[in-house]
Amino acid sequence: MADIIIRPMRISDARPMAAIERQCFSTPWPAQFFREELESNVCARYLIAARGREVIGYGGIWMMVGHCHLTNLAVAPAERRRGLARRILRALMALAFDELEIRSMSLEVRRSNAAAQNLYLSMGFTVNHVMVRYYEDNGEDALLMTCDDTARWMK
């Protein structure tokens, strides 16, 4: 882990991020979505986990007044179970706190995604709503999870 840094996204990261998306999700974001987030969405912040020039994970948030929403979080399959997603999530919490004193974060996760749910439960999130048949590709439910005290978990 010592050789891995967490840094802000650059335009050149969009393609490797999209490549990881394709390995992770049934409805992956294309590179253009990430480029647009960086260039046009003033509320968006994306962080990259990189080993040298290689992108191995990333996460993003949309910041609002007093609250942020996690849009994406993914780690390349070969890099999992080494604490990288937790590191990215902590860094996103710290970024939102440093910029706008945001202490609250929400996200949606598929009901079947036990790995991600375990991560979020271990970082202070709780399930507070179920969005029935939220995902259009397979009709799966989404769990809406929130953490209302990110300052406690970001260090």
Ligand X SMILES: CC(C)(COP(=O)(O)OP(=O)(O)OC[C@H]1O[C@@H](n2cnc3c(N)ncnc32)[C@H](O)[C@@H]1OP(=O)(O)O)[C@@H](O)C(=O)NCCC(=O)NCCS
Contacts to ligand X by CB under 6 A: 24, 73-75, 80-86, 109, 113-116, 118-119, 122
The 8-class DSSP code of residue 135 comes to -
Q: How far is CA 128 from CA 27, 51, 106, 142, in A?
A: 24, 36, 10, 11
Shortest distance, position 75 Cβ to ligand X, whole Å: 4
Q: Which is nearer to ligand X, 24 or 64 (CB)?
A: 24
CA distance 58 to 37: 13
Annotation marks residue 120 as catalytic: yes
Nearer to ligand X, 5 or 39 (CB): 5
DSSP string, 31-95: HHHHHHHHHH-TTEEEEEEEETTEEEEEEEEEEETTEEEEEEEEE-GGG-SSSHHHHHHHHHHHH
Catalytic one of 36, 79, 108, 140: 108
In the complex, least distance from residue 155 CB atom to ligand X, rounded to whole angstroms: 15
Nearest to ligand X of 109, 154 (CB atom):
109
Least separation, in Å, of the C-beta of 86 and ligand X?
Answer: 4
Q: Which residues have a catalytic role annotated?
A: 108, 120
